[in-house]
Structure 1
Amino acid sequence: MSNSSADQAAFTNLQQRLKALDRVIQGICKVAGAPGISFAASHHGDAIYRGSFGFSDLETKKPVTGSTQFAIGTMAKTFTASAVCALVAEGKLEWDTPIKSILPELQTASPTVTENLTIVDLLSHRAGLGRSNMWWQGANATLLLEKNDLLPAYNSLPVTGPFRGEWAYSNWGYALAGEVIERVSGKTYAQYLQETVNKRLGLKNTTVEPVDASVASDLARPYAALSDASGVSLHPIPQPPISGNTIMAAALGGVSSADDLLKYSIALLQAFRHETGIQTSDPPPALKHALMHLSGHIFTSKALLEKSYAFGWYRTQLPNTVLGMGWNSIYVKEMPQIVPKGYVGPLIAHGGSLPGYHVAIALLPHIDSSVVVCTNSIALGDVSGWVSMALIEALVDTPEPSDYLALATEAAANAAINVESLERKLDAARMSGTTPRANDEYIGRYRDEKRGWLVDVRAKLSSPFGLEVVFQGLDSQAWTLSHYEHDTFLWLATREEQAKRGRMVTYPLSPDHFKLIFQASRGGKIDRLLWKHEAGAPLDQQYLVKE
């Protein structure tokens, strides 16, 4: 058999492996609750497989297609990194330029960070500062901070790890990188990204500009998957509001489509292979500094096989379990190892999520292949994660493919009861026999003195304990309080309520996160509120003072 015949046979076998996943993919969507899905795979610079199932809008029964737009959530980080690479290529920024020289307002909790922070530190999550997602992300498609609150909020982040010594995922770091892009380029983040990435690559369905869901022609509607004895149902939720005009755009903003994301993945592979000398391109690739973009800059865990973080990408040396493809690992007993038939080099991947959406993208530069998956639901588990891994196994010809439908079924069952499981943990740790004070002693406004952030505790006669908490003074951010022990209350709602109100219930749930601990001064009156919203900082540093 000639080489061309052997190559054609291998290509045909690859297509058959991918096509055989159609039924599995539809099954995963059904058990986890994803109304629509669009996915694609590339090989040697061309689309080798595309598929779309279900609906972008259940009410109108509009089908999902390759051009359907989905919010990309944290996948925005790789686009931000591409824009930064363009700035460096234009000579407007150096990798070691101190951020303080660009943003003189920078004054973090660590003098070391303030003086030495660079764009590489921001893009690789190694600044050593807190994550504090609760300060900006609210329920009911509401942002709790304005764009101009970014620098003051970043300056107030606590030190939670050694500078450049540990990896800690931070949306704030990428938000700050977006501010750097705007200051250095003299354009808005959305404009610069459009000019240097989207337009150059011909991405027609990708933007960080605000998208009006009421008039958008092909924007997938977001849903939340609910579960009861009758099965999985889907509840429409509001469109996430993050855009170039808001805080966190460079970390989680923008919409794209499977077709555009596949073009983007192919362009990244072409640029990486060109810069590493694997494959020369003429003319040179549109994307620049792909080697810096996709190389590891800090380890995400200690292991025999590499797991590291690039700029907006998790890197995994195969065979291995995969990081960065959603939180499915918390819902199954054991995550599958992706075991290629031969050497395929590192897997470089990142997921993306916002209320109502889960997306994923993965690159295999050594074999010049990629995968993209887009879904429009807070599902019971991350559908895009399962589907992308199934597609990857087909690309690398895994000798014994994993049963992803079985894994998705296991994850869906556990995801449906994640709040109940958390309640059991809280009940087991509760001190019995304690009673609260009179409600009037807790009622009032509590303020974070560093940030000006507000927590109101007010009466709610319709609730069992007669109290509710309201974040930032917004009625849309009100949650019923239940007494836990002594002067500690919980604002934990059912999974159904959280999902319907657009909270991300696919993430790990921390008991401390839902506790509000009231403290009294020497005079016996309640005057402080402790809330451990930042896992890496001591509880006694996370307080609000009663006005």
Structure 2
Amino acid sequence: MPTRAARWLLIACLAVAGQAGAREAQVDAGRLASLVDEAFARYALPGIAVGVVVEGEVVLRHTRGELRAGQGEPVDAATLFKIASNSKAMTAAVLARQVDAGLLRWDDPVVRHLPDFRMADDWVTREIQVRDLLIHNSGLGPGAGDLMLWPSPNRFTRAEVIYGLRHLQPRWSFRSRYAYDNTLYIVAGEIAAAVAGVPFDVLVRREVFEPLGMTRCQAGSWSRDAVGNIAQPHARTGDRNVVVRADGATVPDEPMMAAGGLRCSLDDMLRWAQAWLDTGTAQDDRPWLSQAQRDAVWTAHMPMPLSARMRSWDRSHFSAYGYGWRLTDVDGTSKVSHTGTLKGMYSALTLLPERGVGIVVLINGDADEARTVLMQALVKQFTAAGGTHDVAYYAGLLAAERADSGASGSGTRGPARAPTGAETANVVGRWRDPWFGSVDVCSQGDGLTFVSARSPKLHGDVVAVDGRLQVRWRDDDVDVDAWLIASPAQGRASALHMAKVDPDADFSYDFEDLAFVREGDCR
């Protein structure tokens, strides 16, 4: 006859087994797949790959669409997508592995590892630590310096991006508030590379891809045709999906790699999710990452705004940034997540650690709303009783938000005319910004053009709109027009500024951070 202790142990085991069984019973793979299909159809996406892992097991791999719309090559679980800012958590993981190995500390001053690093303020240069590079607390404005990263390709090197930081003026006090940035993640990647003595692409393969079996992930420069099965980004033109920024034969090593330049497949991202949900992931009988560093990465280091939508949709109580991850709660359980956005490519990864759930969404088209509503519907299958709401329900909530705010959801160009000589006299010439470099505002053909020396896609026509000068870019990749603003002066202006025509447009078009001074006359 079993002892009382044995009986209690048996009851406890049965209870745990019952809870696990109940959790597994709640996973309706057909329902999850139907939500993906609904989003794919509703938003006419070119391609999508979605996966779900529960308690270490992949319960859904669902793909639809094509690598290139209309070409017939299907998306599958091995298709490479740009994961954009989901790269940030991988950069943080590389640094966490180095902390585990005793090669650096989170509170090391940046200048200890990169002696030539500078910020605009000498005090910040002295005080900024490795940890600060990862949590968006620098005092710079959102997306400061991003015009050195995109539109890509451009002629900036990684070293030039880091050098340019000393010329970016802060908008707030250091460590006083959250404002998303990309450029400091590039610094973080170069610190990791300096500590290891190898380039960052070699390092991320060695520290992340190889030990976790992420065999399709790509970093640095690589051959498109040798790798194969690569989703191309698309833009929506009328009722068609059209490839934009198609890969050439050689995919270049772009400066933004550590901030948003990695590519992975659905299977790779599911392994990445499993590594974070399974603390026992090992390499040579050692954990891939210590519990101390897992805790450090998922600590709420920097408070973030808690939006009305988060409170309404998820009953969230807090929002914060860890090392490369966003942290919050949804329906009473913890949520760790990030998104990634590049033109024509959207990614999302959500982990519910207390439920053992990981969800990956990869899309190769214009998919801001599609990503939002699909991930919301998928998450609710695991956090809300019944999980009854579908993609259409959350799309309806977003439409109501837009109606309440008066937002149209799309920008328009107003009527424009050729400016007069008197209107352009103050802006004609060669100008220089200390971090962005030289631009020419000069006559070309029958009009006046703006041409950047280091960012070739920033080539546009200067027009007059409502009595103001505006640059309208010729390349379809650049979808945010800019005002040209000459400082008042007697005769020709000596300073030139820019601003987004749509102030709510993507902050990575950080025209407002430019401060041009006159360099000379047009040649």
TM class, shorter-chain normalised?
0.7 to 0.9
SS state of the match for residue 66, structure 2?
A: strand
SS state of the match for residue 308, structure 1?
A: strand
| TM superposition shift of 1:133 | 4.2
* Selected match of 2:266 from 250, 258, 264: 258
For 1:136, the equivalent position in structure 2 comes to 148
- Alpha-carbon distance in structure 2 between the residues aligned to 1:115 and 1:186: 23
Distance 1:240 1:134, change over 3 A: farther
Q: Deviations over 1:523-542 (max 9, x none)?
A: x1243311247899996983
- Alpha-carbon distance in structure 2 between the residues aligned to 1:186 and 1:135: 29
1:358 and 1:382 in contact (8 A); partners too: no
* Selected match of 2:349 from 358, 361, 382: 361
For 1:197, the equivalent position in structure 2 comes to 208
SS state of the match for residue 219, structure 2?
A: coil
Q: Deviations over 1:79-123 (max 9, x none)?
A: 000000011111110111111111111221112211111111111
For 2:477, the equivalent position in structure 1 comes to 502
For 1:233, the equivalent position in structure 2 comes to 240
Matched, 1:545 2:518: yes
- Alpha-carbon distance in structure 2 between the residues aligned to 1:396 and 1:220: 31
SS state of the match for residue 419, structure 1?
A: coil
Identity of paired residues, percent?
Answer: 22
* Selected match of 1:489 from 462, 469, 472: 469
- Alpha-carbon distance in structure 1 between the residues aligned to 2:498 and 2:444: 21
- Alpha-carbon distance in structure 1 between the residues aligned to 2:484 and 2:425: 16
- Alpha-carbon distance in structure 2 between the residues aligned to 1:284 and 1:475: 48
- Alpha-carbon distance in structure 2 between the residues aligned to 1:129 and 1:47: 40
Q: Deviations over 1:129-178 (max 9, x none)?
A: 24324431344x42341122022112222112221221111101101001
For 1:394, the equivalent position in structure 2 comes to 381
How many correspondences in the alignment? 484
- Alpha-carbon distance in structure 1 between the residues aligned to 2:92 and 2:251: 17
Matched, 1:309 2:321: yes
Distance 1:55 1:86, change over 3 A: same
| TM superposition shift of 1:3 | 4.9
Alignment map for 1:241-390 (pairs within 5 Å): 245-271=253-279, 283-288=285-290, 289-301=293-305, 305-319=317-331, 343-344=332-333, 346-379=334-367, 381-390=368-377
Matched, 1:515 2:483: yes
Matched, 1:525 2:492: yes
Matched, 1:68 2:76: no
What letter is aligned with 1:286?
Answer: W
- Alpha-carbon distance in structure 2 between the residues aligned to 1:283 and 1:245: 34
Distance 1:416 1:72, change over 3 A: farther
RMSD, aligned α-carbons: 3.5
| TM score, norm. by length of structure 1 | 0.79
Distance 1:412 1:444, change over 3 A: farther
What letter is aligned with 1:78?
Answer: A
SS state of the match for residue 386, structure 1?
A: helix
Alignment map for 1:19-98 (pairs within 5 Å): 19-98=30-109
Q: Deviations over 1:386-444 (max 9, x none)?
A: 32222111122444643423544786998995112xx57xx9xx9xxx97726566432
Matched, 1:168 2:176: no
What letter is aligned with 1:159?
Answer: P
Structure 2: which 5+ residue stretches go unaligned?
1-10, 308-315, 501-506
Per mean C-alpha deviation after superposition, the further-off stretch among 296-305 and 101-110 is 296-305
* Selected match of 2:449 from 451, 468, 472: 468
1:135 and 1:144 in contact (8 A); partners too: no
- Alpha-carbon distance in structure 2 between the residues aligned to 1:541 and 1:264: 38
What letter is aligned with 1:234?
Answer: N
Distance 1:59 1:416, change over 3 A: farther
* Selected match of 1:184 from 192, 195, 217: 195
| TM score, norm. by length of structure 2 | 0.83
- Alpha-carbon distance in structure 1 between the residues aligned to 2:512 and 2:63: 47
Matched, 1:418 2:418: no
1:86 and 1:287 in contact (8 A); partners too: yes
Distance 1:528 1:349, change over 3 A: same
Alignment map for 1:110-149 (pairs within 5 Å): 110-130=121-141, 131-139=143-151, 141-149=152-160
Structure 1: which 5+ residue stretches go unaligned?
320-342
What letter is aligned with 1:521?
Answer: A
SS state of the match for residue 418, structure 1?
A: coil
